[in-house]
Structure 1
Amino acid sequence: LRKRSGSGSDHQNFRPYPENITIPTLEYDDLIYKKHWRDLSPVVIEEYNLIFFVVAKAASSEWKRFFMRLEGNGNWCGSGFIHKSEINGLSHLNDYSLEEAQEMMTSRKWTRAMFVRHPKPRLLSAFLDKAVGHKKHFEEQLCTSYIKSGGEHDLEYCRNHREDFDFFLRDLTATLPDNVHWMPESKRVDEKWWPFINYIATMEELAVDAEHFLQTVVSNIDNVSAWDRVGRTGWSEDERHCDNLGTSPFLGKKDTRHKTDANSKMNRYYTPELENYVEDRFSKDLNNDYFSFTPVNLFETSKEGHDIK
């Protein structure tokens, strides 16, 4: 386990406010603000002075359900379409004016947070979910997009290789690099904004870190933490059934219909060659100074942890 210390701003996941640097200016074409790329624009929870960067395949569904529940949106349970804006009702940074968003991104009063996931389990999770687990979506949408984007193989080949992890990594994701489910996490945020994201945690100890994080996010109305408000209890393995919410804490039990057990399956799907491929292609994630991934070395040929460049 990673060494952890402190319960407040001295905790390892907190990053101090950047000093002695020029405050960046938010622009219309910044990744975090682009109007046509809502998935990259972070969620804004005004009552808690919180900006949260939701990362696909890093418990994104669970986080959206949490924020929906925190804001009193009854659709947080029972709905399978929580990623649709008309269902989740969540505000994003690009819903605000440039001036308002600029203040949110630079003010010491706001928390700007992100939970990230190691590329190897994240990519496998995307494969097991979006390819193996959703045949219709893969064949009708991903393969069609693959062909339109100049994929090396034809439509039939793509559909026949739906359960081929090698094809998924080397061909499909390389041809469709901007899909949010597998795009590098380091590319989700403009370089100038990384110093201002002041809480960054990984998926390695998700439940523990989520509890700590939510205890530090406090309502500016009644001073109650997000954890005490809706995180401490009332969660189950399946938030699609509102009549059986359970008594577990948030993320104490993962939704079994969404969980893909990627960590336990990596040795089954990865080969030494694919591991090296991911280490090379996603080196910016593995070398990102703001992430603190524990190295994942599946095979002796793994280069991770040995100055990947």
Structure 2
Amino acid sequence: MQRKSARKVSFCAILCCLLISFMCVDHPFLRISGKIQKIIYESVASTTLVKYSTDGNVSKISKNTLLSFNRSDGHNIRQNMSKLSRKVVPRLTKEELHQIKRYTYYSSPIVVTKYKLIFFWNEKSGCTYWKSLLQFIQGLHNKEVHDPRRNGLTNLMQFKDNEITDMMFNEAWTKAVFVREPRERILSSFLEKGLNNACMMDICRRPAVKSFSEFLTLIKHCKDVHWSSQVKLPRYLYKNTMIGRMPDIYTFTEKLLTKIGAWHDTVKDWLHSKEQLKRTRPHATSAREKLFQYYNDTKTQDIIFEMYADDYEVFKFDKKYFNFNKYP
């Protein structure tokens, strides 16, 4: 009898040890009973952990754990977590892809595959300068800048949708956008396009405007890329996009080209060359020097603030009135 009692005690001790080991070690077979309220996948280093919740209590198991679920009909289902967990693949909707690619080859972002760069340029925001620069760093000695059929530049519309998605979410690719303060940009559009009879007939089917206020009224219903909003990407994508602004164009140039590995003495010399100045000068309107001439009241500025509210919000432009006393 004593031997039998001793055996029972030993058996119970062993059983307790096994139970404790089962609870403390990530056992390859884990049975979860009851209703699972939530399963969340969480990547930690090379191991995917799965958080599951039963009755509000959250626990963790490894992706290689075999789960055993008791169905209501009495059958038992076993499923390996490596099969349950699926890699989250970023996707872009058709609308987002259309928005990113833009409407035509003439307005599509520029892609420099050599340096893994997608550059989102904007009309009336130094686009001649940027296209010329992107030609130069690729060794494209081409006098044509704006015609996509002849300038030698690659644009985003030439890629497949799945390729664009991969590029947009791939950290190896640099995404950059260059923008201009709306008041300055719209004034530049007025001086170059609004006062040009041929341009206005081509764009709006009407003669040139006679005043800046008339131009601001006109562009509310006559749409064109030269005065449309510069917010041309889904907003969440700007978080991983380098943003440059007109006053810091040369500083941003150095920062961007350094990041992609294209900044060197040859580029520095080109930036101050007669060739570069010759290309950009015909498009200069001196809008910055004329700001106080045309924005001489708060009402006109309020119109711009309202029309281009997205630009001011997304690109963090300073939404303050010009100081007319300081600049007579």
Is this contact kept in 2: 1:70–1:230, CA < 8 A? no
Name 2:238's counterpart in structure 1: 194
- Aligned to 2:157, what secondary structure does the other structure show? helix
Match of 1:31 in 2: 99
Distance in 2 between the 1:96 and 1:266 partners?
A: 40
**Greater Cα radius of gyration, structure 1 or 2:** 2
**TM-score normalized by the length of structure 1:** 0.68
Give, in angstroms, the shift of residue 230 of structure 1.
4.6
- Cα shift at 1:45: 0.3
- Provide closer, same or farther for how the CA distance between residues 200 and 167 of structure 1 changes in structure 2, counting only shifts above 3 A: same
Corresponding residue of 1:267: 292
Alignment of 1:134-213 (within 5 A): 134-138=196-200, 140-144=201-205, 155=206, 159=207, 162-171=209-218, 173-177=219-223, 179-186=224-231, 188-197=232-241, 199-213=242-256
The verdict on how the C-alpha distance between 1:258 and 1:33 changes in structure 2, with shifts beyond 3 A counting, is closer
Deviation string for 1:97-141 (max 9, x for gaps)? 112111110111110001111111011011111123x33222x21
When the two chains are superposed, the root-mean-square deviation of aligned CA atoms in Å is 2.5
Which of 253, 272, 283 is 1:258 aligned to?
Answer: 283
CA 1:85–1:189 in structure 2 vs 1: closer, same or farther (change >3 Å)? same
Distance 2:281 2:152 in 1: 25
Cα separation, 2, equivalents of 1:55 and 1:23: 30
Letter in 2 for 1:191: R
8 Å contact from structure 1 (residues 122, 182) kept in 2: yes
Aligned residues: 234
Q: Determine whether 1:297 maps to 2:321.
A: yes
Q: CA deviation at 1:69?
A: 1.8
Gaps of 5+ in 1: 1-21, 145-154, 219-225, 238-243, 301-309
Give the direction of change, closer, same or farther, for the CA distance of 1:32–1:229 in structure 2 (3 Å limit): farther
Partner of 1:53: 120
Residue 280 and residue 68 in structure 1: after superposition, are their counterparts in 2 closer, same or farther (change >3 A)? same
Partner SS state of residue 62, structure 1 = helix
| Deviation of the 1:26 alpha carbon | 2.6
1:42 aligns with 2:109: yes
Secondary structure at the counterpart of residue 284 of structure 2:
coil
2:257 is matched with 214
Match of 2:158 in 1: 95
Structure 1: 4+ residue segments shifted above 6 A: none
Contact map agreement 2:135 2:152 (CA 8 A) in 1? yes
Structure 2: 5+ residue stretches without partners: 1-87
Query: Contact 1:26/1:101 (CA < 8 Å) preserved in 2?
Result: no
Distance 1:229 1:106, change over 3 A: farther
1:278 aligns with 2:322: no
**Residue 110 (structure 1) aligned with residue 173 (structure 2):** yes
| Structure 2 contact 106–147 (Cα < 8 Å) conserved | no
The equivalent residue for 2:9 is none
In percent, how many aligned pairs have the same letter? 26
Q: How many angstroms apart in 2 are the aligned matches of 1:212 and 1:267?
A: 31
Aligned 8 A contact 2:178 2:244 in 1:
yes
State the alpha-carbon separation in 2 of the partners of residues 299 and 273 from structure 1: 14
CA distance in 1, matches of 2:266, 2:222: 37
For the residue of structure 1 that corresponds to 2:282, the secondary structure is coil
**Cα distance in structure 1, aligned partners of 2:279 and 2:292:** 22
Other structure's SS at 2:254 match: helix
Q: Match for residue 120 of structure 1?
A: 183
> How far does residue 193 in structure 1 lie from its aligned partner after superposition?
2.6
The CA distance in 2 between the partners of 1:208 and 1:47, in whole Å, is 22
Question: 1:169 and 1:227 mapped to 2: Cα distance?
Answer: 40
**Which of the residues 244, 264, 267 maps onto 1:231?**
267
Higher strand content, 1 or 2: 2
Taking the aligned partners of 1:115 and 1:143, their CA distance within structure 2 comes to 26
Aligned to 2:28: none
Distance 1:51 1:57 in 2: 19
Listed one character per residue, the Cα deviations across residues 125-177 of structure 1 (whole Å, up to 9, x for unaligned) are 11111123x33222x21231xxxxxxxxxx4xxx2x52411111122x11123
Say which SS state the counterpart of residue 185 (structure 1) adopts: coil
